[in-house]
Amino acid sequence: MQKVVIHDLGQVGFAEGWELQTLYRDKLIDRKRLLRNGGQVTREMTHYLIVCEHHPVFTLGKTGKVENLLVSEATLAEDGIDYHEINRGGDITFHGPGQLVLYPIFDLDYFFTDVHKYVRCLEEAVIKTLFKYDIHGERIKDFTGVWIKDSYKRTKKICAIGVHLSRWVTMHGLAFNINTDLSYFDMIVPCGIADKDKEVTSLATILGEEQDMIELKNCLIGHLGQVFEFEGVIDRR
């Protein structure tokens, strides 16, 4: 069973989370290079999982379109919203308070070398978490992430997923809307999907009340551990 060190950042700026992701990714890639060049590695294999909420930020993936940001830079500045163009796949999305973000930095050589399976496993952990709340999460063909049906049977996106892999080491991950202020999504075309039948929702909106973020965090991390079959170790630094 693989060992994953879990680093809970609390609520942080996007740049801080990205910097830590990059640090861990480079550490795993350096280890791979050393092994492939015949070097000796004394420490046991360790993967990483960053857990956080972000201050309000829009991020645009490498395949996204900047026109899917519907407001000006001046508006972003006035509202205190950051903006970053980043190296994950996918289009534009929002991160902010009340949204649970998980960034696995895994060397998939120790799990499986299949990017599609990796994304499906991230989705599966969220689906299992939703089931605990008597909500049926589902996948939609040609769209990543996790979707649910609201009380009017309309399809809503509750979790966005965007990843980046380098030498089979993962970055970025999933953003699960729990108590998220959904009004931020009015400033973008979320994930580049303009279809009004595929809008964004949150767990609090579906259940009608604010949810316990700590309980959700523990539940989701537990299901991620089940799906990927890893042992989680909390980093208490």
* Residues marked as catalytic: 191
Residue type, 31: R
Cα separation, 110 vs 156, whole angstroms? 34
Structure tokens at 224: 């991620």
Which residue is listed with tokens 């060049």?
A: 37
Token couple for 166: 């380098």
* Angle, in degrees to the nearest 10, between helices 213-228 and 115-132: 140
Q: Phi-psi region for residue 98, left (φ > 0), alpha (ψ -120 to 50) or beta?
A: left
At 116, the amino acid letter reads: H
Buried b (16+ CB within 10 A) or exposed e, 60-93: bbeebeeebbeeeeeebeeeebbbeebebbbbbb
How far apart (Å, rounded) are the C-alpha atoms in residues 210 and 139?
25
Q: Are 182 and 200 in contact (CB under 8 A)?
A: yes
DSSP per-residue codes, 12-43: E-HHHHHHHHHHHHHHHHHHHHHHHTT----S
